[in-house]
Structure 1
């Protein structure tokens, strides 16, 4: 039997949550049954390319300088599909979704779109384009119940909308004391110091200024605590300026973009997330799998994972004082902190494993090949 050929289309292959999932899911897919292709458009955002190729994927960059030029690449994508006998196209994030819908109108190839966010948070132009074009595809998948709800309420699509919750490789993302020791030595963090951390792309959505404000309050109450703020992005200069403004250079470490995130998670005791909005954040699932104690805002799908007072602590979006207060309480109560850490991993292992996610996606692909994909789930 010939393998089913899946083409993933995504704007870039940088280190965002949607992008990171592609090589991780590929490692668990049944590649004797599927052949996976990937097209991306921003050549300077290619951090995931090597990981995908090493896992067995076929990656192609069709260069585009911006969103509008990306939409002009439909002929090249259609040509690629014909040359490689693609059976199903799977698009991620809005502009790749728009392109996929154009391809769908001009071919008979079924197009699936994964929605990683909620409609309410998109720019008005993106929301309008989404609403006008959404039915020009075969199916939509929400990465959280909140993402699916938002599509159903705001777009009211005529196509099926399924929910496939994001997952994490719980075998890979396990706490490792040797890695923790290495990171702490590298950044001169005392072995017994409590570390508050975050791993994120520095963009508006993540509300990193709120994170820094919260850490400042924690630092005033607990000067012995260290911070690890791992990542890079468009807000990087602003973040560095805020760290300097608040005189946190000695206690808040910015290691930049890192590929071995598991090592940094191992060194983090409390994973504090200040996001203004989310789909179902991969970094959160990874942190919980790594037994980090979670303090987070109630952004999007976060509330589908973190149960306040059971496996973490939650605050309203924008309430950095609440983040500081709940983190401080856990610094002062190591027994409760340990309870949350154990419960966090148990929650992810039982409900958000990557294998479960891969199995559900493969089920959808098989249904498409049989022509059985007509119901919302």
Structure 2
């Protein structure tokens, strides 16, 4: 599956291929100085295939798995049909060197398929193990089954049920230095701090999109995406999230939703502080060019949120970009309660 940036990027900026293409200042430093808006930049994936691999992360996640061409095609096709994203995961604070994944006697590593709670017709998270690349085909078959069994879209489409019992299931912090150095330098300290508080839930992960927003965090299966985090702010963000309410200062959006719907969701949470994650559902979106009207529901109430997509001036959006790129930002208007 292609590594969609999920950050509103338009043509003009080259994708990151190495961490050392430019020296300081880094893209995340520039984004913070500019005050780049986070809104509407959550990844587009609705499902996830997480594959544990400690070392050998190449710039593209699936290239790191050592699959033969046929198996690679089967796995990426299954992910595409399931609207899933393949990401590598590893525990923070890993040793510097590890045996190859397929070495004789290598320990079994984990894989996890995470379904969207709205789409799920079975378990939301399914764990398995792998030693050889061929073992990952089981995960591919599960993705394929999810895609073929998916019924018509559920209406209304909700943000997700929220993390139950005040404990996160999966905290994924991008630390993919081979994709962009900002992900490593900002992401690894955040992952280490989160692991102290939630050791079982916390993983480093490969590219999430939005390198300039490092450190980036995805909370699964809730689908909340946060950016611009540091170790202290990350702990506070997760504490607020598991308590039921998103921290809108760092919220990029809801994974799998369109940019206008993400902007409307953020506007609703800001207009109604204390609203629980998952309280709002998207009933409908009408569009005319860059103008959108997003209709949200919460209980018996219905809200209309106008959203305009605006192109920003060309900016440096990754550390390894060879040219500045343009991004499109959804700007929400006033949240209106409908009669």
TM-score bracket for the superposition, by shorter chain length? under 0.3
TM norm structure 2: 0.25
Greater share of residues in strand: 2
Greater share of residues in helix: 1
Q: Which of 1 and 2 has greater Rg?
A: 1
Higher relative contact order (CA 8 A, sep 6+): 2
TM norm structure 1: 0.23
